Amino acid sequence: MTHARTSKPYRPASVSILKSHSIFSTHQRQRVNNHLSSVLAAEAPQRPTMSPEKQETATAAVRVLGRWPSPFVIRVLIALRLKGVEYELVEEAMGNRSELLLASNPVHRKIPVLLHHGRAVSESLIIVQYVDEVWASQGPAILPADPHARAAERFWSQYVDDKFPTAIRVLRGKVAGDKDEAAAQVAAALEHLEEALVQCGRGKGYFGGDSLGYLDIALGSHVGWVRAVERMAQVCLLDEAKLPNLAAWADRFCAHPAVPDVMPHTDRFVEFSINNDGVPKAAHTNSK
Amino acid sequence: MAREGDLKLLGLVVSPFVVRVRMALSMKGVSYEYIEQDVFNKSELLIRYNPVHKKVPVLIHHGKPICESLAIVEYVDEVWGGGAPPSILPADPYERATARFWATYVDDKLFPAWIGVMKAATEEEKAEKVSQTLAVLLHLEEAFAKCSNGKAFFGGDSVGYLDLALGCNLFWFETLREMFDVELIDEGRTPLLASWAQRFGEAAAVKDLVPNVDKAVEHAKKMRRVFVH
């Protein structure tokens, strides 16, 4: 273990009092948590360093390496919450990959990584399926039972990942690109997904039917950023008039109990973008 | 067992993604109607059943399409699961996640790299793509060591999901060797993959499904005429 939270001497597995959805910025939270940690360490009775075996059991059985604004991390957290699985979110600092991340995902060096009893699972959609399978006996099923429905949700989830991430990064101003083209790409993809919702959901609330499922999570995890770029780039993407089912679905998704704590309000995404994407505030509007 | 009328596969003889699905169907002993497509002149059938991508493979079961080769392989494994036909995906969730991870890696990293070799316009570009392909294969060599656990295939004693995901690309490596004299899976660099490739080629389930290298060469030349300027 090489990251700050589990360094010796003994302390509880997590002293992160302020969780990722708090109103404080990451930097503020880090300072508060570090201060708390040192206070606790100073006050704790002197005891010998924990043995490695005991340290393992003190570490949460389920840990997620990630950071809140990442839609891919959000997916994993929603899946765990749906299944009622307790987890520890190990926040990866921006622009500075921890040793734990590099060791757990040496191929891609990306978040999210799920550590289950220390074993690493990478790639958000793969993690969501893993969670669905490991905790099959608790919580709702994430993937549907019917093989054709499963294949359809896998198809559309891959489609979402082909069409949204790059376009959203362009619209955020995180990477260079034609914003009009990016917006058109997202809009076209949403049109396909509007049809898919009608087909997959069959008039019920979610792609998964009555309950939130795999494709809901795959697409829903992008809604935070979609709404943020709508505001920043001044484009209408989840257009109620053109996409009535999807617009209603987006509201429903965001209000689902498993979601708000891990995918906060649009304001937070906009604030994050302004603070981190390296684009001046004025440039967030499309120049027309 | 599906009657022929119930199950159709829209394919292209030289597409590794189609070969992958055919291998999965063969492992399950399932019969189907195979309909070859002209990807340079897409049929109404293809456009109707895969309107989003208009690509092969498309499996049509009881009139309903399933697209994206890895999703099709999982579908085939689920529909014709249990009992005598062997399981394509492993049973253990962690092993399944690992197999899926590497299969996705093959499609996201290996495929674009070797296609890049095939489509390269200059020697420099080709060398770069070959280099990329070799780097990816090194990762897959490590993956084999971990996944196989000393056994013959990624899937253990018999061909599994990841074997299919990677194995369907092998005939293209032979094709690139013939066209450009490049050795991608090399005993010196990736010995485990080299011996696995041999075993995979001989495995009963997949043996007769690998197209002739000549066909692939012909297709590659056509692709180069269309795409390389």
Contacts of B93 in chain A (CB under 8 A): 130, 133-134
* A contact test, residue of B52, B60, B69, B79 with most A CBs within 10 A: B52
User: How many residues in chain B?
Assistant: 229
- Is B205 within 8 Å of B159 (Cβ atoms)? yes
Q: Please give the helix or strand (H or E) that residue A58 lies within, else none.
A: helix A52-58
CA pair distance B88, B165, nearest whole angstrom? 11
B137–chain A nearest CA distance, Å: 12
What is the rounded average pLDDT of the residues A246-259? 97
| Beta-carbon separation of B93 and A134 below 8 A | yes
Q: pLDDT band for position B204 (50/70/90)?
A: confident
| Beta-carbon separation of A148 and B66 below 8 A | yes
Q: State pLDDT tens for residues A39-97.
A: 444 444 444 455 555 454 567 899 999 999 999 999 999 999 999 999 999 999 888 89
Which residue pairs, CB below 8 angstroms and at least 24 apart, start in B77-86? B77/B24, B77/B28, B77/B161, B78/A147, B78/A150, B79/A147, B80/B28, B80/B30, B85/B27, B85/B28, B85/B29, B86/B27, B86/B158
Residues A236-248 as b/e (b if ≥16 CB within 10 A, e otherwise) read ebbbeeebebbbe
Q: Give the pLDDT of residue A201.
A: 86
> In 3-state terms, what secondary structure has residue B108?
helix
Q: State pLDDT tens for residues A83-137.
A: 999 999 999 988 889 999 999 999 999 999 999 999 999 999 999 999 999 999 9
User: What average pLDDT does chain A have?
Assistant: 84
CA pair distance B96, A26, nearest whole angstrom? 35
Residue of B nearest to A158 (CA): B68
Comparing CB atoms, the residue among A107, A133, A159 nearest residue B52 is A159
Contacts of B139 in chain A (CB under 8 A): 107
- Give this prediction's pTM: 0.86
CA pair distance B45, A201, nearest whole angstrom? 25
Q: pLDDT band for position A284 (50/70/90)?
A: very low
- Is A199 within 8 Å of A215 (Cβ atoms)? no
Comparing CB atoms, the residue among B72, B79, B101 nearest residue A122 is B101
Comparing CB atoms, the residue among B78, B79, B93 nearest residue A130 is B93
User: What average pLDDT does chain B have?
Assistant: 94
| Beta-carbon separation of A148 and B104 below 8 A | no
| Beta-carbon separation of A126 and B97 below 8 A | yes
A66–chain B nearest CA distance, Å: 18
Q: pLDDT band for position B77 (50/70/90)?
A: very high
State yes or no: ipTM above 0.85: yes
Q: Give the pLDDT of residue A13.
A: 38
CA pair distance A215, A221, nearest whole angstrom? 10
A101–chain B nearest CA distance, Å: 16
| Beta-carbon separation of B97 and A147 below 8 A | no
What is the rounded average pLDDT of the residues A141-146? 97
- Is B195 within 8 Å of B203 (Cβ atoms)? no
Tell me which residues of chain B have a C-beta less than 8 Å from any C-beta of chain A: 52, 61, 64, 66-68, 70-72, 74-75, 78-79, 93-94, 96-97, 100-101, 104-105, 139
